[in-house]
Structure 1
Amino acid sequence: MLRGFYTAASGMITQQRRQDTLSNNIANAETPGFKQDQATIRAFPELLINRMGKETIPTTRPFSVPNQQQIGSINTGAYVQETIADHQQGGLQETGMATDMALINAVLPDELGSLFFTIQNADGDVRYTRNGNFTVDGEGYLTTNQGYYVLDQAGEPIFTDGQAFSVTSEGVIEIDGAVIPLNIAYAENVNDLIKDDEDLFMFTDDEAAVDARDMADVSFSVEQRFLESSNVDQVQTMTDMMQAYRLFEANQKVVQAYDQSMDMAVNQIARLT
């Protein structure tokens, strides 16, 4: 009976964490370049149950073996193993802002690969993002809305001096006759990336993305005055949230049923009269 408590409780915790993931997706449905998270649910290892009888099986040897009858397996619950970002590209939304840019994956050699803008955060570490909602700070540098520098192909912050600029489809910024290529990074396997704060990605190990321009089989385009929308399917996400809520309720009722059975076993059946 106690095993049933644990199994139902693990189901409740699993659906609660799944609901948290879906809620975060909905909250960022309007965030440019946001990649929705998908919770992967896994069952705990199953247990094989055998019944050990008192009868013994006779053998030709001078001893006998206990009679063992296989009953079956029992599951011990489920848990959220991890959350994985879905890097499928979102749609384009025209904004008319010269500092907005959308990165389009034209040709990639592997379905697990993806392209990113390269960012330098406040600690000086390199991060990657699909959110091209950029701006120009008071010093004339191209930055994210959080104030992080957008890097050029040489890995340096892009200085615009507050002047108007244009961006070619090849990802080159043209300012007063000067050309500054954006640092477009290619990650061969997006599963090696984890989400950092402020809609940024980082590698799990001491790895780094490669320059997309150095990859002969990778092509991309950059659209100025456009933003990539999030890839959150709001209708499907709301449906999944309702499903998670119903499954949470079902496990909750199982816990209540076990609680009533335990109450009867302890306070009624075992009562001394």
Structure 2
Amino acid sequence: MLRGLYTAATGMMTEQIRTDTIANNLANVNTNGYKKDEMISEEFESVLLHRINDDSQQGSILDLQNIDTARKYLLKGTVAADEGGMAPSIGSLGRGAKVAEIAVVRDQGALENTGNKLDLAITGDGYFSVNTPQGVRYTRDGNFYRSAAGQLVTANNQAVLNTAGQAINLPPDTADINIGADGTVNAGGQNLGQIGLAGFADRGALLKEGDNLYRPQNGAQPQQAAGSIQQGWLERSNVNVAREMVELINNYRTYEADSKALVTQDSLLDKAVNDVGRVS
């Protein structure tokens, strides 16, 4: 019964993490370039159970497959559960659930036309490279501005980097800014460089860091991405609100079932301790 308590409890803890993941997705439904998270759960390694010294349905132990081996263990008074398939199998007993991974779903989000020349959307693979106090980070949020110093920056005043890893400087009082699909920036007939689009061979090489930024892990190195840039557009979040709400309801039902199983196991344990063992 104690195992049942732990099994139900691990299920509840797993579903709590799933609830937090769904809540975070819903909170970022209006965040530009946000990619939803999806929690993947798995079962703890199950235990294979066998009947020991049980002839209630098998007749004699000598009725098992290997008569000689059965006789050997019969003389010892035991039946081996792991030799030659001797003991009848009851089945597997699960030991609860655990979080295997919180994966990022990198599907393309819908594009929204803003008409702002400094709003950029990436179609296909790629990330904008930005300079932060922690080093170079990557984002899909193309809601950019011109800073007081004349640099192309994010909403958090982080410089957007070109293919050479340098900040892009925009001339003052220039409204005629054109950015091509390859990221080439032109203003007033002057070529100001090319916005770098970073890609990674292993899409799992990037980890979410917060503030809509990603950081590479395990020394992953960026390469030229195959995506293209659309000026005057923004990529919206790829979160589907209706789908997330359905998942939230389903998650609640699963949590509720685990909770009832926990209460039932506790009630059975209470009866076993206080009633079954009582001396009349």
Aligned to 2:184: 172
Q: How many residues align?
A: 258
Aligned to 2:213: 200
Contact 1:115 1:186 in 2 (8 A): yes
* Dislocated runs of 4+, deviation >4 Å: 54-58, 60-63
Contact 1:139 1:161 in 2 (8 A): no
In structure 1, the gaps of 5 or more residues are: 106-113, 213-217
SS in 2 for 1:35: coil
Deviation (angstroms), 1:239: 0.3
Aligned to 1:215: none
Aligned to 2:275: 268
Query: What are the superposed Cα offsets for residues 30-85 of structure 1, whole Å, 9 maximum, x if unpaired?
Result: 10100001111111111011222288767498874523332221111111111111
Aligned to 1:69: 88
Aligned to 2:154: 144
Contact 1:45 1:75 in 2 (8 A): yes
Aligned to 1:181: 194
Q: Give the distance between the partners of 1:138 and 1:270, measured in 2 at CA.
A: 79
Contact 2:200 2:220 in 1 (8 A): no
TM-score of the superposed pair, with normalisation by structure 2 = 0.86
Q: Which has the larger radius of gyration?
A: 2
Q: Give the distance between the partners of 1:171 and 1:62, measured in 2 at CA.
A: 78
| 1:124-163 pair list within 5 angstroms | 125-162=135-172, 163=174
Q: Give the distance between the partners of 1:137 and 1:172, measured in 2 at CA.
A: 19
TM-score of the superposed pair, with normalisation by structure 1 = 0.88
RMSD over equivalenced CA pairs, Å? 2.0
**Identical pairs, percent:** 33
Greater strand share, structure number:
1
Query: What are the superposed Cα offsets for residues 195-220 of structure 1, whole Å, 9 maximum, x if unpaired?
Result: 112111122111221123xxxxx3x3
Q: Which amino acid aligns with 2:118?
A: T
Q: 1:256 to 1:224 in 2, by over 3 A?
A: same
Aligned to 1:111: none
Contact 1:119 1:128 in 2 (8 A): yes
Contact 2:205 2:216 in 1 (8 A): yes
Contact 2:22 2:244 in 1 (8 A): yes
2:126 matches 1:119: no
Aligned to 1:224: 231
